[in-house]
Structure 1
Amino acid sequence: MSQELVERYLEHVRVEKRLAQRTVELYALDLQKLAAYAFEAKVELTQVQNAHIRRWVAQMHSGGRSGRGIALILSGWRGFYIWLGREGRVASNPVQDVRSPKSPKPLPKALSVDDAVQLASYHSEAGDPWLEARDAAMVELLYGCGLRVGELVGLDAVASASARGWIDLEGAEAHVLGKGSKRRTTPVGAKALEALQRWLALRGQAAGVPGDAPALFVGRNGTRLSAQSIWQRLRRRSLQAGLATPVHPHMLRHSFASHLLQSSSDLRAVQELLGHANITTTQVYTRLDFQHLARAYDAAHPRAKLSRSKP
């Protein structure tokens, strides 16, 4: 009876719902798994209870199945029981309110200190000096100040009442408008100041850039660079600098936070510099820092690795 119901349901989604063949095949695999669990528990598919589903979810999770994978399986099972309910075969949906285990959030990608410095120090003698100066200044601000790409885009060349953000060269500070329209001030390091001064000296030399153009970072037509343009320029520059992994703006923000924690361990200070409203958002970088420490330990400590030799 169970196999007959599964085949009827698969025919339903194939013919009436017109799902793609690959989707139907995935549904079939998920229902095979459901049927196997039910057979092992000596229960008919129409007699499966909420407790059964929760137990099987726990088994899949302990067996190494990802939260996302379990969520997809539950979605297939849920649809099957919705159909059984419409057919009058079950009184309630046993998959209702069952959620998959949360998958651990992936760690943000950060460059090593050496790679970050290599990118920030890169200079192309053969490149266009105007573009070279602009892109170098962008890298220095993203890595040296931990700015979001939207904050970088919003910077103006000079402070004004309408400016979303600006750089105070004399005070060595960046004033930015972050998430939630919250303003913050971050220090600007010596290298970033030098790069900015080189850029500002060349910025107005492009024919299409009017003298009163407000944006700090502009294209040759004088319009403010978009976030997409900065992504493209940074990816290109990282590859030219010889980095194995293409770099995006947020990777430099992650690197800024991770490298600060490696040096200072001052989580509160990093929270303020990043503009995080909640310190739990900043704490993810402590995991990056621990990975750094663990690699150093594995590489250097004589007791880091267990002996493979038998006693």
Structure 2
Amino acid sequence: MDATQLLSIWLKEREIQNQSRHTLHAYERDVSDFLNFCETKKLDLANIETTDLREYLAYKVEQQQLSSSSLQRMLSSIRQFMKWAEQGQYLAFNPADDFQLKRIPRPLPGMVDIETVNQILDQPAPEKPIEQQMWLRDKAILELLYSSGLRLAEVQGLRIKDIDFNRQLLRITGKGNKTRVVPFGSKARDAVMKWLQVYPLWHGDFVPDANVFITQKGSPLGARQIENRVKLQALRAGVNVDLHPHLLRHCFASHMLSNSRDLRAVQEMLGHSNLTTTQIYTHVDFDHLAQVYDQAHPRAQVKKS
């Protein structure tokens, strides 16, 4: 069986595992490009060595000026494919297994302080009735983004049946169709309940599968519309910040970690499959480190007389 056929089988298995269409397309592009390079070099899949992989990545940098993050993504695709091929005994060993690229530290996401977030969320409603209704919808969106660290697509796809007001829990469908249950705060609960009082006026039917956030015509609110409304409400509050949904997700993660120090819990709420993804939100708090050190280290404690 040739490499192209193996790639087709691997992609089919990934599709069965509910990998997103975007991810599958990236896998296919990255691995196909590498296999085409090997074919040009007259290399069979079984004979590929680490030096061939290094030559390919150097070629990609030279030809396309790829960034470090793009190279890491390509290497990850190739490594996963070859690991699968090795496990299926199509390969004697995986030359990509121990191959590593030097990682560039990920930049810390932009941040907005708590006072600024409160200024946006607690701003007074507009005077005109229709703008008041829009504000109630937008405030519910803003509160959920900050209260639960939701992604833009997760807010957009939220259904009425996904909200448990009694226990203040949301059932979220995230990346790869993975579901998780996250809490939301009392202010977010109140904001959503006030918005749902307006909901029927916008031709929205209270059916379990209906989208929570809709337009005035009753159709589901689009991603770009949500982004624009978030920016608008920041401007209306007089805040000089380019506010977008993902920035509020960053704020949620950072503020939660600052107060709880519980990285695992924040990882679960964000829906990160890998803890290292969550770790970009950890800030070095030297006062806290000194306090922990003084309390925990046996040679830091002052002996009582």
Q: Distance in 1 between matches of 2:277 and 2:219?
A: 34
Question: Partner of 1:196 in structure 2?
Answer: 192
- What is the one-letter code of the residue matched to 2:158? L
CA pair 295-241 structure 1, distance change in 2 beyond 3 A: farther
Question: Partner of 2:145 in structure 1?
Answer: 142
Question: Partner of 1:259 in structure 2?
Answer: 255
Report deviation, 1:121: 1.3
Instruction: Give the root-mean-square deviation of aligned CA atoms.
Output: 2.8
CA pair 100-74 structure 1, distance change in 2 beyond 3 A: farther
**The residue matched to 1:133 in structure 2 has which SS?**
helix
Q: Distance in 2 between matches of 1:230 and 1:255?
A: 18
Q: Residues 168 and 174 of structure 1 are in contact (CA less than 8 Å); yes or no, is this contact kept in structure 2?
A: yes
Query: Under a length normalisation based on structure 1, what TM-score does the superposition of the two structures give?
Result: 0.57
Corresponding residue pairs, total: 195
CA deviation string 1:197-251 (max 9, x = no partner): 1001111112x44555811000011110111110000011111111111200000
Aligned pair 1:187/2:183, yes or no? yes
**The residue matched to 1:175 in structure 2 has which SS?**
strand
Aligned pair 1:177/2:151, yes or no? no
CA deviation string 1:244-301 (max 9, x = no partner): 1120000000100000011011101101111111101101101xx22xx36999xxxx
Question: Partner of 1:285 in structure 2?
Answer: 281
Question: Partner of 1:301 in structure 2?
Answer: none
CA pair 279-100 structure 1, distance change in 2 beyond 3 A: closer
> In percent, how many aligned pairs have the same letter?
36
Report deviation, 1:107: 1.5
Task: With a CA cutoff of 8 Å and minimum separation of 6, indicate the structure with the bigger relative contact order.
Answer: 2
Q: Distance in 2 between matches of 1:76 and 1:221?
A: 46
CA pair 72-107 structure 1, distance change in 2 beyond 3 A: farther
Q: Distance in 2 between matches of 1:296 and 1:263?
A: 11
- What is the one-letter code of the residue matched to 1:123? P
Aligned pair 1:124/2:125, yes or no? yes
Aligned pair 1:106/2:107, yes or no? yes
Q: Distance in 1 between matches of 2:256 and 2:173?
A: 22
Alignment of 1:1-311 (within 5 A): 74-75=62-63, 102-127=103-128, 128-157=131-160, 159=161, 166-206=162-202, 208-210=203-205, 212=207, 214-286=210-282, 289-290=283-284, 293=285
Q: Distance in 2 between matches of 1:138 and 1:119?
A: 12
Q: Distance in 1 between matches of 2:182 and 2:101?
A: 41
Q: Which runs of 5+ in 1 are unaligned?
A: 1-70, 78-98, 160-165, 298-311
**The residue matched to 1:155 in structure 2 has which SS?**
coil
**The residue matched to 1:205 in structure 2 has which SS?**
helix
Q: Distance in 2 between matches of 1:179 and 1:75?
A: 32
CA pair 103-121 structure 1, distance change in 2 beyond 3 A: same
